[in-house]
Structure 1
Amino acid sequence: MLVMQGRGRAGDLGADVIALAPDGRKIVIQCKHKHKAGRRRPCGSDVVQTVNGTARPEHGADIAVILTNGTFTKPARELAHKHDIHLLWGEDLERWATWGSPLLDVLGEDDDRTASAEASRSA
């Protein structure tokens, strides 16, 4: 994975990390720190709305991801599902960040999608 932008900052338009997957797909990740003093606060649908409005239109994302050390509200999970935005947290975050499982595997981006993305790029 090639990281093109790796630091969130003011004005990043919902993209803390922008990376290219080995198959050439652009991944845009918005990170939210929601764990303070032993208390996890959930990410709400406002975060999903921001990423939905910027990841693909502004950054050209093929894969949009919101990552948190907290949780997500039910409305956030529903909205993310509706707009094909991956939510990375809990056990999946641990699999990737601690145990080194490939991000595309953790996100469930299977080989069929990879093959069709590669085919459309070479056409």
Structure 2
Amino acid sequence: MGRKRPRLRRPRGPAEALSASVVALAVLVLAVRTAAATVGALKEAWPFLLALVLLAGTAGGWRVARAAAGRRRDAERLAVLRITLAEFDAMDDRQFEYALRDLLVRDSWPARRVGGGGDQSADVIGDHRHRGRIVLQAKYTRVGAKVTSSVMYAVKGTAGPAHRAADYAVVVTNGTFTRDAMAWGDQHGVHWVDRDNLRRWADTGTALHELLGLSARARRSRFRRAA
């Protein structure tokens, strides 16, 4: 059987009735004082609370406006050039390299194709006024193929010495990367764009520097040879 809930009993006699009345009055006085103190605090703090509300509203409006501006930029880029994964898969090596060059140009990154014999792990080079130099190694593959760590080693070794101190080195494929290749690239500053990221860049409209989080600040090349 469950425990019975305690029940309040009626005061017995004048003394208990008086005591109960005193307690009830004390509780009422405390509640009134608490409410008065709360109202007073709110009156004193209302300028701060109003500023806080306005600040939160401004921050929210800024985020909404920023997101809308980002969508407009993506739409404008897509209006200039949009390439689907199916179109990439139908290309050959040379067409793939030119497509990557065109995507960099679309993203306001002046670029040129330099791939071919003796390209020293660079197929496309872009020079941006604010972001510096980017070197792209294009690895066109049949669907399902994976790029290995050896490609990352080669790009890391030549991005600075052979390509005039590149600021960023990126390996781009229409396939995928091995787990070791991605881990090694992340550790040594070699960016990678796999099939999914390529779709986001070429088909969805995300700019490459946004996709990879490349800074617009001028800085010393990560691949420059040590003095």
Task: Give the TM-score of the pair, scaled to structure 1.
Answer: 0.82
2:197 equivalent to 1:95: no
Shift of the alpha carbon at 1:20? 1.2
Greater helix percent: which structure?
2
Runs of 4 or more consecutive aligned structure 1 residues displaced over 2 Å after TM superposition: none
**Aligned-partner Cα distance in 1 for 2:208–2:129:** 11
Match of 1:2 in 2: 110
| Aligned pairs for 1:1-123 within 5 A | 1-3=109-111, 5-35=112-142, 39-59=143-163, 60-109=165-214, 113-115=215-217, 117=218
Q: Which amino acid aligns with 1:46?
A: S
Q: Which amino acid aligns with 1:19?
A: G
Shift of the alpha carbon at 1:18? 0.3
- 3-state SS of paired residue (2:120): coil
Greater strand percent: which structure?
1
- 3-state SS of paired residue (1:64): strand
Task: Give the TM-score of the pair, scaled to structure 2.
Answer: 0.46
Provide structure 2 residue ranges, at least 5 long, that are not aligned to the other structure: 1-108, 221-227
Tell me which of the two structures has the higher relative contact order, counting C-alpha pairs closer than 8 angstroms and 6 or more residues apart. 1
- Bigger-Rg structure (1/2): 2
**Aligned-partner Cα distance in 1 for 2:128–2:193:** 17
Q: Which amino acid aligns with 1:56?
A: G
Q: Which amino acid aligns with 1:77?
A: M
**Aligned-partner Cα distance in 2 for 1:94–1:24:** 23
**Aligned-partner Cα distance in 2 for 1:107–1:24:** 12
Aligned residues: 111
- 3-state SS of paired residue (1:97): helix
- 3-state SS of paired residue (1:67): strand
CA contact (8 A) 2:123 2:138 kept: yes
Q: Which amino acid aligns with 1:51?
A: V
Shift of the alpha carbon at 1:99? 2.6
